[in-house]
Amino acid sequence: MGQVWNEAGERVPVTWIKADPCKVTQVKTDEKDGYSAVQIGCGEKKRLIKPLAGHLKDLPKFRYLKEFRVSDPENFERGKEIKVSIFEPGDKVAVAGTSKGRGFAGVVKRHGFHGSPASHGHKDQLRMPGSIGATDPAHVFKGTKMGGQMGAERVMVKNLEIVQVDEKENRLAIKGAVPGARNSLVEIIAQ
């Protein structure tokens, strides 16, 4: 993350995202495939498996391929390049990515439980969940808040504003924080 100053002289917290040009690798239509979508490729790879090499025959060797549903596939054609210039400052976007994985987390970290008092007979109970249900049903109900895997899941943040577009460096400055660790892959979806 970083910061920029707007015209009013106010400091705006931003996340800088490097958005290299992507290329359309496949266009799917209702008539041929049963739904409308566009497949986009980005990143570079040294070698591809043969089926993928055939799929990307006259295109570069892309590391990442992602499909997006679209309502009008006629606007896209195979090999068309998509750059950061499609965005303008002030545009609202949604950013989706994989959140940081935090491994197996207890109930205090994962769900914000307060824990037990630290005195009066609570020996090793400080960060324990406490009671997890009644005796009568004789099972734990689904959805009970307990310790477990935290993070490493798809998260989407909506209504983020684009503050700057740097076409020379292929970078976007998006107001606020976006999901994921540094150097992770994110999707920027226009709203």
CATH 2.60.40.10 correct for 1-19+84-109+145-191: no
Q: Which residues of 152-189 are buried (b: 16+ CB within 10 A; e: fewer)?
A: eeeeebeebebbbbeeeeeebbbbeebbbeeeeebebe
pLDDT digit string, tens, across residues 6-26: 889 999 999 999 999 999 999
Q: What are phi and psi of 103, to 5 degrees?
A: 70, -155
Q: What are phi and psi of 123, to 5 degrees?
A: -65, -70
CATH 3.40.50.2300 correct for 22-82: no
Q: Which residues pair with 163 in a beta bridge?
A: none
| First-residue to last-residue Cα distance in the chain | 22
Delimit the domains of the chain by residue range: 1-19+84-109+145-191, 22-82
Q: Tell me the average pLDDT across 174-178.
A: 96
User: Cα 179 vs. chain centroid, distance in angstroms?
Assistant: 5
The mean of the pLDDT values for the chain is 93
Residue 168 has pLDDT above 90, yes or no: yes
pLDDT digit string, tens, across residues 18-65: 999 999 999 999 999 999 999 999 999 999 999 999 999 999 999 999
| CA–CA distance, 154 with 97 (Å, rounded to integer) | 6
| Matching fold, domains 1-19+84-109+145-191 and 22-82 | no
For residues 34 and 99, is the Cβ–Cβ distance under 8 A?
no
Q: What is the pLDDT of residue 133?
A: 84
